[in-house]
Chains A and B, each alone.
Chain A
Amino acid sequence: MDGFAHQIIAGIATGGIYASVALAIVMIYQATHHVNFAQGEMATLSTFIAWSMVNAGMPYWVAFFGTILVSFIIGVLVERLLMRPVANAPVLTHVGVFIGLLLIVGNMTGWIFGYTTKVFPTPFTSDQPLFGGLVSAHELGSTAVTLTVLILVWAFFRFTKLGLAMRAAAYNPRSSRLVGIRVGWMLALGWGLAAAIGAVAGMMVAPVVFLDPTMMLGILLYAFAGALLGGIDNPMGAVLGGFAVGVLENLAGAYVVGTELKLTVALAIIIGVLVVRPSGLFGRVVFSRV
């Protein structure tokens, strides 16, 4: 029974990571109606940037916030330089650019930092075992960070004028432009925010899975599964979906299919959701008008 409880708690901790990447996906989706395939690779790059900062002797939290800032800028730049010129192109072009971005960022990371796995520090340590050793300090800390990010993002969209403007720009670009919202910059801001959230997720997951250029590949899929499970247009749903996928994946890995098929679980969840309930658990059902 102890093992079972531990599996669930460990699942919640990894689920928190998926939840933040899922949130990043949903954020970009809400702000731009894009799903960025390179989200994972960009987050990995951010984590490597943090790693270099820490290695250069910066205190962890300085590196942490520095990385978030740098990632935000990278996200904005990517939107301005790569996405903006093809904004009106067909979806196929967008997917192509995402794939190109994935190839470039992923391989650049490997090129610059090498393919050896690296240890990434965690700021959360504790001398005593917590809750009878059920949960590690890092699991607890990273879940707390994830939840903080989620609340901040939610509050940003709910209570600030800028958040409102971003939602408006995504919901109805033309009318937003008429009331003076700079729609193009809202999109760029969305990309920046998503990159920043991705960076947090990367820095939280790196101490667990170790840092290497391919570390986010699986995470992106789980996050996507979580986003779909919760409903791709609902941030809160995506977060819950992310946690649920984390727990499911851990339980399935421990008791059903073994660790080798963990990625297949993500695939099964994605296809299962799409077949049974395509709008997700909390998503809006969209009717297309003929």
Chain B
Amino acid sequence: MSATKGLPADAAIGGLAAPAATPAWQRVLLVLLGLGAAIAPLFVLESFQLFQLTMAVIMALAVLGLNIVTGYNGQISLGHGAFFAVGAYCTAILMSHWDWSFWATLPVSAVVCTALGWGVGFPALRLGGLYLALTTFSLAVAVPQILKHKAIEDWTGGVQGLFLVKPDAPAGIPLTADQWMYVVTVIVAGVCFFLVWNLIRSRIGRALMATRDHPTAAEAMGMDIADLKTKAFAVSALITGIAGSLSAVAIEFVAPDSFTFGVSITLFVGMVVGGVASILGSLFGGLFVLFVPNIAEAISKAAPGVIYGVILIAFLFLLPDGFAGLLRRIAARLRGRG
């Protein structure tokens, strides 16, 4: 099994016992700190910066979805942009054609994306590594074409796309629409992160990782690999789809050309840079994919893509377990000294 050696997740599995050793007051402190960090931007940031942060959280959620299937289950998907797009379109269509409220669209988009994820995950069972990557890649490339197609133009708005309006804060809460959107995003993302965190640390999560690291052994232990893999795809699509729903409302616009295969690549880069098979890493990944292209564009207008590629390869060579792995190592060193 030399092929899986050095996978960042080995460290994650090794670290499973660590949280139990953390004293309760430390965990409470961490949660409080996290809450504080989530609420503070409401009072500090300007409207546009808040929008950017909202998008970063949304991207983090999408990266988290990808991490379930690629990081934890080892099925490489380069097509998660497709689920992101479907989630966004579900919400946009329901909101603009039938005047649904945003909250009501979330379950629908979750169900649709889960079904689609299952549908993609099923043929994907036959594929290992690279083939799956290429198949999902072709899905990502085909998405804008499908969205533009005439047969569904009445619903999707064709090339023009659909406009929607951000929901206002409920009466009695003194927040602007942007601030409310941030709150909504943080709540939805927070719930998803918490659920995924629980899932990964459960029996199913361990089964997912076992399937990735040693399928034969996992099967011998009585795990239904095919079932696990398809379900991993479905859950992963669900999470990424919900991120898509949030993004449609946050941007107040969906169009086929915002869902090119670039989205899928962005999610993949975010996952690698943040940390493969790491929940915290997904958060870093979201921040990275939102803010680094802006910085890169400031350095050289022409080639943020080149910088993206260079950073991706540099991370794979130097820091294969991403930001999260770096933090983990620093923490381990500090603990060792203290």
Contacts and interface: CB of A to CB of B under 8 A. Distances in A.
Contact of A111 (B78, B150, B219, B303): B303
Contacts of A86: 316-317
Interface in A183-209: none
Interface string A260-286: 111110110011001100100000000
A254 interface: no
A88 B3 CA distance: 7
Given A96-B312, A261-B145, A275-B126, A266 B138 contact: yes
A241 B303 CA distance: 36
Contacts of A266: 138, 142
B306 A103 contact: yes
B216 A35 contact: no
Contacts of B216: 290
B308 interface: yes
Given A82-B313, A96-B316, A224 B134 contact: yes
Contact of B137 (A37, A96, A104, A111): A37
Interface stretch (B23-31, B97-105, B268-276): B268-276
Given A35-B134, A221-B138, A267-B139, A93 B320 contact: yes
Contact of A108 (B5, B148, B219, B303): B303
A248 B310 CA distance: 38
Contact of A224 (B138, B219, B306): B138
A90 B3 contact: yes
Contacts of B308: 103
Given A96-B312, A106-B305, A290-B216, A91 B129 contact: yes
B70 interface: yes
A85 B268 contact: no
Nearest to B74: A92
A217 B145 CA distance: 14
A261 to B, nearest CB: 6
B82 to A, nearest CB: 10
Nearest to A264: B142
Interface string A93-124: 11111011111101110110000000000000
Given A96-B272, A104-B310, A261-B146, A274 B123 contact: yes
Interface residues of A, number: 47
Contacts of B219: 290
Contact of B313 (A96, A224, A228, A290): A96
A103 B149 contact: no
A115 to B, nearest CB: 10
A242 to B, nearest CB: 15
Contacts of A106: 305
Contacts of A93: 316, 320
A270 B309 contact: no
Interface string A131-165: 00000000000000000000000000000000000
A179 interface: no
Contact of B309 (A34, A104, A232): A104
A56 interface: no
Contact of B142 (A90, A100, A263, A274): A263
Contacts of A85: 317
Given A100-B309, A266-B138, A94 B6 contact: no
B276 A92 contact: yes
Interface in B233-274: 265, 268-269, 272
Which 5 A-B pairs rank lowest in CB-CB distance, beginning with the nearest?
A103-B309, A107-B305, A104-B309, A91-B129, A100-B313
22 contacts: A37-B133, A37-B134, A85-B317, A88-B5, A90-B6, A92-B7, A95-B130, A96-B268, A99-B268, A100-B309, A101-B309, A106-B305, A107-B303, A108-B303, A110-B305, A261-B149, A262-B145, A266-B142, A270-B138, A274-B126, A278-B126, A278-B127
Interface of B: 2-7, 70, 74, 76, 78, 123, 126-131, 133-135, 137-139, 141-142, 145-146, 148-150, 216, 219, 265, 268-269, 272, 276, 302-306, 308-310, 312-313, 316-317, 320
Given A106-B305, A270-B138, 16 more contacts: A35-B134, A88-B2, A91-B129, A92-B272, A93-B320, A96-B312, A100-B313, A104-B306, A107-B306, A224-B134, A260-B148, A260-B149, A263-B142, A264-B145, A266-B138, A290-B216
